[in-house]
Chain A
């Protein structure tokens, strides 16, 4: 490969997006987190199959389960946003549409993460004080 390299093989400063390797790095960190968390999630789905509403609610309301579920949704949504961002940047060539889509997906994923967080916390509090 080295014969193909030009003197620009090393990027200057933080590169054209001015963020260095941050995006790439966060995509890898969330990917590493998602491996065990996804496996745990499938095990969790098996554990709650056919289980009654209150029992599911109570199960997710347990501190450790709630923490893992929070970690899972946040890691998934962060990783997913970083991923679609690249897909949009690759395929949407009209600048206004591109920036509009980037903003819209970002807001959607942040709202989804907040919704999931509030919901899980609600299950935690309901499980601590079952009425």
Chain B
């Protein structure tokens, strides 16, 4: 047993989900998804270097229905992770860690992420 009265990490099975905890785990989920997106980008660059047929194949994959669905997911992940990443960088400087600001920037993120995702997709498609 701990001899100091120190705080415990929340026990996920019995801890009520809150805005802050949900947004936090989403940062991790989107970060891992973006790793796959990064490999997709490398595939695209490689296909360009290999030649026209390879690139057209890549483009056909990206423009297929599953390809578009995946693109939409990746764009959301990028927008979300980027915006929340800025929150993280703020916290690293000590800014925004108080409950009031953590919730205000959190709700701002909830509003901005879908909007910017829709805007980006409308733009690049």
Contacts and interface: CB of A to CB of B under 8 A. Distances in A.
Contact of B123 (A4, A46, A113): A46
A56 B49 contact: no
Contacts, number: 84
A119 B92 contact: no
A73 B49 contact: no
Given A53-B56, A123-B48, A35 B35 contact: no
A45 B56 CA distance: 16
Interface residues of B, number: 31
Interface of B: 4-7, 28, 31-32, 34-35, 38-39, 41-42, 45-46, 48-49, 52, 55-56, 78, 82, 85-86, 88-89, 92, 120, 123-125
Interface of A: 4, 6, 28, 31-32, 34-35, 38, 42, 45-46, 49, 53-54, 56-57, 60, 69, 73, 76-77, 80, 83-84, 87, 112-113, 115-116, 118-120, 122-123
19 contacts: A4-B4, A4-B6, A31-B85, A31-B88, A35-B82, A38-B82, A42-B123, A49-B125, A53-B56, A60-B45, A73-B41, A73-B45, A76-B41, A112-B38, A116-B41, A118-B49, A119-B42, A119-B48, A122-B49
